[in-house]
Amino acid sequence: MARTFVVGGRIAVIASAVALAGCSTTAGGKSTATRSVSSTTYIAALQGGVIGRLSDLDIGTSDRQRALEAEYRALEAAPGGQPVTWAGRGVSGSVVAAAPYQVGSQNCRQYSHTVTIKTEAKTARGAACRNPDGSWTPLS
């Protein structure tokens, strides 16, 4: 399953991690299934993301999921300074990650997430570091 996302005005097609769950390869005539982690695992690792810091943010579960997916896409693949946008029911947002930097052996990025409900925009900022399994852990 491929998903289409708007990244900085361009359309990027990103294959969902869930689509990889059923992939397999053959080695010497034997089938070996590849092990995959679902996208919900990556989203859960964000621990609510920086939008979780907006305590008075009143959005639905599906919109919050869209927002967290955008945070993950911005951290994982977006060029520094390029917004990753998302839209839901009466709410939209934009996540902008800065250029990656190293902390020990981990890649880290600072990022901001602006959520707009009707005409009111709220912004939260934070940083996260990438784990060896591909998930991102927010810095306190």
DSSP assignment string, 9-31 = TEEEEEE-GGGGGG-EEEETTEE
Q: CA torsion sign, 40 to 7 to 91 to 47?
A: positive
Mean of pLDDT values over 25-39: 44
Q: Which of 115, 22, 133 is nearest to 76 (CA)?
A: 133
Can you give the pLDDT at residue 42?
81
- Mind listing the pLDDT tens digit for each residue in 64-110? 999 999 999 999 999 999 999 999 999 999 999 999 999 999 999 99
User: Which is more confident, 17 or 36?
Assistant: 36
Mean of pLDDT values over 12-41: 41
Q: How far is CA 7 from the centre of its chain?
A: 12
Q: Tokens in use for 111?
A: 């990022």
Give pTM, 2 decimals. Answer: 0.71
Mean of pLDDT values over 27-41: 49
Q: Using CA atoms, how far apart are residues 92 and 70, in angstroms rounded to an integer?
A: 11
Q: 14 pairs with which residues across the strands? A: 3
Q: Say yes or no to pLDDT of 14 above 90.
A: no
By the 8 A CB rule, do 62 and 90 touch?
Answer: no
Can you give the pLDDT at residue 69?
95
